[in-house]
């Protein structure tokens, strides 16, 4: 099974569109603010990827058992939504999962991802800092939890309610040889470690504050909506990452209407006001 075909023509804008298929937002109780602060301080990344790597490289059945027992939702999401290779309950799904990662490309990116991300403490630190700021801007937004996985070179971050999965194979660096073969320079610039936290912020906000009728909107509306999300992400990061012409409009709008909160900006459907700001 080759993963080359899905790689071709995947743009960063399309990745954001895919998020609306994979992200779901269910009603949950809002934790109190003290609990939120405690949870932010304890943010860590669950290393689902390490069990996954053990299974697909050594056929270690105990690793598969731990995947199913410790991470049942993550395993099901990987099989059904990320890889799309069947149902988690299918009789031969374990063999199918193993076969998928026997692809030479997936073997290589899996090895490289595990080597490069053996230590993710710096990412965890940045997640704590950025989500502390996000909590100040959106005090009622539930705090998500995080895990790492090795996907199929399509999605960067996936969101299932308040659970965020980071696909490590999409953050191996702008000069990673495989990326050079299939992605443009502008796409590759965002496929490095520095963008993990920003993308977590963006995809989580996308899942919580989706644009109504996104699929039928004009392209300028989609772009302006994504720019609003990226503006919030930039506010939460120690160093702003995202740049675009649409983002400049949002920045100008927020300077002009400085009393508007980040939450009011995101929930507003008045995209033409952003586009037409002088």
- The tokens describing 152, both together, are 């199929």
pLDDT given at position 41: 80
The 10s digit of each residue's pLDDT in 55-101 is 999 999 999 999 999 999 999 999 999 999 999 999 999 999 999 99
Residue with tokens 């989580």: 204
Query: Cα–Cα distances in Å, from 42 out to 141, 177, 199?
Result: 17, 36, 20
Predicted confidence band at 118 (pLDDT cuts at 50, 70, 90)?
A: very high
The 10s digit of each residue's pLDDT in 42-64 is 899 999 999 999 999 999 999 99
The 10s digit of each residue's pLDDT in 175-223 is 999 999 999 999 999 999 999 999 999 999 999 998 888 889 999 999 9
Does pLDDT of 135 surpass 90? Answer: yes
Q: Which residues of 17-40 are buried (b: 16+ CB within 10 A; e: fewer)?
A: eebeebbebeeeeeeeeeebeebb
- Phi and psi, residue 128, nearest 5°: -60, -45
The 10s digit of each residue's pLDDT in 150-162 is 999 999 999 999 9
80 close to 97: Cβ distance less than 8 angstroms: no
Q: Which residues of 224-263 are buried (b: 16+ CB within 10 A; e: fewer)?
A: bbbbbbbbbbbbbbeeebbeeebbebbeebbeeeeeeebe
Rounded percentage of the chain residues whose pLDDT exceeds 90: 81
């Amino acid at each position: 099974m080759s993963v080359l075909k899905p790689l071709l023509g995947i743009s960063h804008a399309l990745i954001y569109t895919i998020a609306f298929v994979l992200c779901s937002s269910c009603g949950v109780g809002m934790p109190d603010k003290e609990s939120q602060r405690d949870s932010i301080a304890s943010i860590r990344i669950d290393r689902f990827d390490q069990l996954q790597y053990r299974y697909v490289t050594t056929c270690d059945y105990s690793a598969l058992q731990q995947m199913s027992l410790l991470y049942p939702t993550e395993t099901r999401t990987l099989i059904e939504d990320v890889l799309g290779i069947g149902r988690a309950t299918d009789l031969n799904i374990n063999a199918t999962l193993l076969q998928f990662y026997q692809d030479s490309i997936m073997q290589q990116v899996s090895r490289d991802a595990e080597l490069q991300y053996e230590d993710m403490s710096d990412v965890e630190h940045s997640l704590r800092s950025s989500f502390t700021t996000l909590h100040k801007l959106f005090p009622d937004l539930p705090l998500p939890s995080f895990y790492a996985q090795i996907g199929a070179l399509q999605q960067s971050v996936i969101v299932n309610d308040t659970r965020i999965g980071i696909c490590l194979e999409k953050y191996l660096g702008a000069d990673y040889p495989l990326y050079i073969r299939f992605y443009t320079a502008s796409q590759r610039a965002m496929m490095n470690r520095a963008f993990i936290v920003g993308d977590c912020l963006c995809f989580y906000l996308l899942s919580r504050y989706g644009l109504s009728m996104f699929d039928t909107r004009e392209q300028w509306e989609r772009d302006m909506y994504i720019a609003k999300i990226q503006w919030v992400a930039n506010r939460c990061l120690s160093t702003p990452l995202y740049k675009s012409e649409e983002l400049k409009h949002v920045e100008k709008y927020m300077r002009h209407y400085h009393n508007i909160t980040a939450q009011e900006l995101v929930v507003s459907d008045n995209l033409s006001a952003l586009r037409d700001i002088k």
